Amino acid sequence: MPFADFVKTTVVLSAAAATALAAVTLLSARSAGEPGTATLAVGWWAAACLIGLAMGRRAAASPPIARLLGGAKVVRTLPPQRPGRILLARLWPLLVSTLVAGGLALLWPQIPAIATGFALIWALAWRQQHSAIVAIERRDGVRFHVEETSPLRPITLSRTPGFKAYLPTEHRSPA
């Protein structure tokens, strides 16, 4: 699976988890008769959005992604790609935390409210990393792919030849 697509999918799934948890929070707070929980949750979500926006304001690749790209092994051909398996193996913590927090809403509506904030931070902090990866791929003429590994092992990337972008330079005419 292309690494840029993996990062984009991670952002979208994190935002979807935040949306689902926010809905569960509001519904469980309403059924429990706790309007204060909903009010505090909305305040936490606003703060989480500000934190995520501040963390993700750079358009450059973050240091962890830069290290991951730098450590990618060079391959000439890719093994068969299974995006669903790769996503499940890499994003299982997001799935488990969303399901557990959503399930605990029956007892404590505060739990999914807190989890919503962290999903928002994650989605907003990583929102521009896709563009940074694509820019590096175009500049270097390579493609980075996520390798299929054990869910308990760190993510590894492979680097394949791609198409280098030869962009025209701006040419100013004398005025």
110-132 per-position pLDDT tens digit: 999 999 999 999 999 999 998 88
The verdict on residue 61 lying in a domain is: yes
Task: Summarize the confidence of residues 90-103 as an average pLDDT.
Answer: 94
Contact 123, 14 (CB under 8 A): yes
How far apart CA 71 and CA 68 sit, in angstroms, is: 5
Residue 166's pLDDT band, with cuts at 50, 70 and 90, is low
Q: Characterise 163 by phi-psi region: left (phi > 0), alpha (psi -120 to 50), beta (else).
A: beta
Domain of 102 in residue numbering reads as 3-161
- Number of folded domains in the chain? 1
User: Whole-model pTM?
Assistant: 0.83
The verdict on residue 31 lying in a domain is: yes
